[in-house]
C-alpha cells in the first residue's frame, strides 16, 4: 500500500504548493477544481472494481477507500495545515460518526425484528409491501423502514427468477422518496428542522411524494405483473407452497428500541444544552447524548433479542461494515467538493451557484449534486443560497421564516431535490448501499453502479422528476 500512496503524494505536492500559495483561510475559495479528482476516483472505484475485478474488490475495498482518503487528506494537510485538519476532524466527528451511529443503530434494531409466515410475492402483495414501506419511511427514517422490510420482501420473492428490478424499486420508494414528509425521514430535512423549519412543514411535500410514489408503484405493478405471468408459464409453483404458515412477528420488543431511536433524534433537534469541544470541533451536548442513546438502543437490542431471531432473519454485519468503510472514504474525498460549493460565488463552482435562480433550478441542481454528494450539506448549501439571494443580510432564523411565508416553493424545490434524487445512484443515500448488499447476500443479483443508473434510475426516475417539475416547479 505504501508503494502506491507515496508516489501519489509526491505527484500531488505541486498541487499542495498551489493551494498553500493562496494563503486564504477559507479553503473553499482557493481550492482548484482538480482537487475533486480523488472523489471522482472513489466513485469510479465503487463503480468499476465490482464489475471488472470483483474478487479484488470483495477482499480489498477497505484498502481502496483508505487509498483515496489518504490521497486527498495528505495534500490538504500539507497545504492548509490547521484549517485542513479542522475540516477533516469536523467531517469525521460532526458528520461521519453520527451518521454511522444512526445507521448502525437502525440496522441493528430492525435486524432483530423477524416477520415470519407465508407471504407469496405476487404483484399485488409486493406493491402493497412497497407502499407500506414508503409510508413508514417518513416516520422511522428511510434506513429504518428499509432495514425492517427488505428481508421479508426478499423472502416473499425467493422463488421468483427476476428479482433485481424489485429491489431497485424498493430502493427508489422505501430507501428514498418515502422519507420526504418529516425531518425523521431523511437527514437533509432534519437539518432544516434544526435551522428553524417547523416539524410538520415538510408535509407540504405530500403532493410531490404522492405523484412520485404513485407513478413508481404503477410502473412497478405493471413490470411485476409481466414477469410474474412469464415465470408462471416456465416454472411450476414450489411443492412447499401449499403449506401456509400464519404471519407473525418475533422480536417485537425491538419496536420499543426503534421508538427510543426516534425519540433520541427528536430530542437532539429540540433540546439546546450548550456545546462541548471534541478535538476542537464544537458539538451540541444534546447531539452527543443522542449518539450515546442510539448506541444504548443498539446494545439493548443485541442483549434482549434471541440469537435465533437474527439467524432466521439472515442478519449479518457485512452490509453496515461495507457502508462504514466505503463512506469514510466518500466523506473525506468529498471535502473539496463541499467546500468549493459552500464558497459560493468565490469558489471554482461559482458558475453553478450563479445559475440557480428559480425553483426549478434549485430542484434539479440540488438533486443532481445530492445524487453524488452527501445530500445533507448539499441541502444546506442551496438553502443558504436561496436565503442569501432573496433576503440578503437577514439573520438565518428570520430568513427561513420569510422564505416559508413568502417563497415556500424554493424550500419545497430544495427539499424534494435533496430527498428524491438520492435514489439516482447507490451512494445517493446510505440505505441504498445496505439494501443492495443485503439483496446480494440473499442471492439476488444486483446491477453494477453504472448498470443501476443506465438500466433503471436514469430512464425511470428522470421521467418521474420531469413530471414533478411540470406539475409543481414550472
Nearest to 259 by CA among 184, 171, 317, 153: 184
Question: pLDDT-based confidence at 17, cuts 50/70/90?
Answer: very low
Q: What is the pLDDT of residues 194-251, one digit of tens each?
A: 778 888 899 999 999 999 999 999 999 999 999 999 887 444 444 445 567 777 888 8
pLDDT for 25: 55
pLDDT for 8: 43
Q: Are 373 and 330 in contact (CB under 8 A)?
A: no
The whole-angstrom separation of Cα 127 and Cα 114 is: 20
Other beta carbons less than 10 A from residue 392's beta carbon:
8
Question: What is the pTM for the complete model shown?
Answer: 0.81
Helix axes 123-156, 206-234, angle to 10 degrees: 80
The whole-angstrom separation of Cα 190 and Cα 199 is: 9
pLDDT at 4 over 50: no
Helix (H) or strand (E) holding 36: none
pLDDT for 247: 77
Phi, psi of 169 (to 5 degrees): -65, -30
Helix (H) or strand (E) holding 337: helix 335-342
| Residues present in the chain in total | 474
**pLDDT average, residue stretch 294-311:** 94
pLDDT at 12 over 50: no
Cell numbers for 185, please give them: 425521514
pLDDT for 243: 63
- What's the whole-number average pLDDT of the chain? 86
CA 366 to chain centre: 14
Residues 6+ apart with CB under 8 A from 222: none
Lowest average pLDDT, out of 14-18, 381-385, 439-443, goes to 14-18
pLDDT for 216: 98
Q: What is the pLDDT of residues 169-186, one digit of tens each?
A: 999 999 999 999 998 888
pLDDT for 24: 42
pLDDT for 20: 41
pLDDT at 265 over 50: yes
Q: Is 62 exposed, middle or buried (0-12, 13-18, 19+ CB in 10 A)?
A: middle
pLDDT for 193: 86
**pLDDT average, residue stretch 22-42:** 81
**Max avg pLDDT among 59-68, 225-234, 389-398:** 59-68
pLDDT at 11 over 50: no
Q: What is the pLDDT of residues 86-129, one digit of tens each?
A: 999 998 998 889 888 988 898 899 889 888 777 888 999 999 99
Amino acid at each position: 500500500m505504501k508503494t502506491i500512496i507515496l508516489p501519489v503524494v509526491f505527484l500531488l505536492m505541486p498541487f499542495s504548493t498551489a493551494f498553500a500559495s493562496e494563503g486564504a483561510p477559507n479553503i473553499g475559495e482557493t481550492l482548484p477544481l482538480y482537487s475533486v479528482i480523488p472523489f471522482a476516483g472513489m466513485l469510479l472505484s465503487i463503480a468499476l472494481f465490482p464489475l471488472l475485478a470483483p474478487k479484488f474488490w470483495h477482499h480489498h475495498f477497505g484498502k481502496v477507500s483508505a487509498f483515496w482518503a489518504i490521497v486527498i487528506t495528505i495534500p490538504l494537510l500539507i497545504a492548509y495545515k490547521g484549517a485542513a485538519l479542522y475540516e477533516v476532524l469536523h467531517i469525521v466527528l460532526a458528520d461521519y460518526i453520527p451518521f454511522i451511529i444512526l445507521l448502525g443503530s437502525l440496522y441493528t434494531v430492525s435486524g432483530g425484528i423477524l416477520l415470519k409466515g407465508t407471504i407469496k410475492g405476487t404483484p399485488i402483495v409486493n406493491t402493497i409491501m412497497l407502499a407500506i414501506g414508503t409510508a413508514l419511511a417518513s416516520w422511522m427514517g428511510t434506513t429504518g423502514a428499509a432495514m425492517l422490510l427488505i428481508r421479508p420482501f426478499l423472502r416473499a420473492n425467493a422463488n421468483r427468477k427476476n428479482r433485481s428490478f424489485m429491489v431497485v424499486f424498493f430502493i427508489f420508494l422505501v430507501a428514498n422518496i418515502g422519507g420526504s414528509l418529516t425531518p425523521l425521514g431523511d437527514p437533509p430535512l432534519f437539518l432544516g428542522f434544526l435551522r428553524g423549519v417547523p416539524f410538520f412543514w415538510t408535509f407540504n411535500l405530500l403532493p410531490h411524494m404522492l405523484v412520485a410514489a404513485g407513478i413508481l408503484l404503477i410502473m412497478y405493478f405493471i413490470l411485476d405483473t409481466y414477469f410474474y405471468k412469464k415465470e408462471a408459464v416456465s416454472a411450476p409453483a414450489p411443492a412447499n407452497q401449499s403449506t401456509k404458515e400464519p404471519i407473525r412477528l418475533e422480536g417485537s420488543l425491538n419496536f420499543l428500541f426503534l421508538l427510543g431511536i426516534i425519540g433520541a433524534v427528536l430530542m437532539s433537534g429540540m433540546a439546546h444544552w450548550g456545546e462541548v469541544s471534541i478535538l476542537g470541533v464544537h458539538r451540541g451536548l444534546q447531539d452527543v447524548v443522542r449518539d450515546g442513546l442510539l448506541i444504548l438502543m443498539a446494545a439493548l437490542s443485541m442483549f434482549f433479542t434471541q440469537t435465533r431471531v437474527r439467524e432466521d432473519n439472515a442478519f449479518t454485519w457485512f452490509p453496515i461494515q461495507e457502508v462504514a468503510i466505503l463512506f469514510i472514504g466518500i466523506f473525506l474525498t468529498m471535502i473539496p467538493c463541499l467546500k468549493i460549493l459552500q464558497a459560493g460565488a468565490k469558489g471554482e463552482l461559482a458558475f453553478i451557484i450563479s445559475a440557480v435562480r428559480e425553483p426549478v433550478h434549485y430542484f434539479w441542481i440540488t438533486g443532481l449534486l445530492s445524487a453524488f454528494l452527501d445530500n445533507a450539506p448539499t441541502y444546506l448549501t442551496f438553502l443558504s443560497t436561496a436565503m442569501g439571494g432573496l433576503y440578503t443580510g437577514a439573520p438565518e432564523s428570520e430568513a427561513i421564516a420569510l422564505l416559508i411565508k413568502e417563497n415556500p416553493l424554493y424550500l419545497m424545490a430544495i427539499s424534494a431535490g435533496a430527498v428524491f434524487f438520492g435514489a439516482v445512484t447507490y451512494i445517493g443515500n446510505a440505505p441504498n448501499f445496505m439494501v443492495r448488499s443485503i439483496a446480494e447476500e440473499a442471492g439476488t443479483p444486483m446491477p453494477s453502479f453504472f448498470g443501476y443508473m443506465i438500466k433503471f434510475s436514469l430512464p425511470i426516475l428522470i421521467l418521474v422528476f420531469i413530471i414533478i417539475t411540470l406539475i409543481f416547479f414550472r
